[in-house]
Amino acid sequence: MTDLDLPAIGYGTSGDEEGDEWTDNVAAALDAGYRFVDTAQMYDNEAEVGAGVAESDVDREDIVLATKVEPGHLAPEDVKSTARESLDRLGVETVEMLYVHWPADAYDAEETLPAFDELREEGLTDHVCLSNFEPDLLDEAREILDAPVAAHQVECHPLLPQEELRAYADEHDHHLIAYSPLGRGKILDHPVLSEVAEKHDVSTAEVCIAWAVEHGIVPIPKSSGDHVADNLAAAEMELDEADLEKIDAIEERRRVIDPDMGPWNRE
């Protein structure tokens, strides 16, 4: 059972922004009211994200900070050394959440996962988390880890609703975190989402965020400018049962992030 307490929405930092843009965006998001910030070694912006955390007016102890170990660093000694490098770049002594980013490349469950347990025992992270796993891989990880799986992060939005992984999260008491909760913008013209958005006089992006929150999913959209506040407000918006039924009845499926290493692409 996890004791990880998360807000309804987090701030994602996967994208093409460079350098100080991330520092400014993270600081602005925290000052606007976000308290959960997600980054990764693969995003190559941990230093800038950490600078944004430091520059914001929010106390570090009030922020949930997450990063992820990239696939090429999942051999045990690499996990431990690169996680420390991540903390140095972030400018923190610990992160609340440390993920296996993809179960691929150097990932070997029996070798990799005990290294995450060690980092938790040493206080470098509070919680061990997984990303882009399938149910069989989650089962395997749960058997090997001493720590509970606190969160599982996957692409999730109305056109990739991840019912099986949501049910798994409910059954095993971990958070389901949604990256690309707006489908990288590629789902926002869907007519059903547009219809619900028009009804509430909001954007389709806000509908996607509200849909996630209503289903107990924690979305972590990337945003800047006015969208920072809009997304935060959307987490408080209530969709009625008819709205949710309409969205959940969408049959089209669209996966936006689909690398060959994704475990759903296994032969």
- The residues that are catalytic are 43
Which one, of 262, 256, 224, lies nearest residue 11 by Cα? 224
Tell me 65's DSSP state. E
β-bridge pairing 175-179 and 125-131: unpaired
Q: Is-contact 135 105, C-beta < 8 A?
A: no
The partner residues of 99 in beta bridges, in order of sequence, read: 68, 129
Which one, of 219, 99, 95, 110, lies nearest residue 149 by Cα? 99
CA angle 220–223–226, rounded 5-degree value: 130
Positions of E strands within 5-102: 11-12, 36-38, 64-69, 95-100
Residues 55, 20: Cα–Cα separation, whole Å:
12
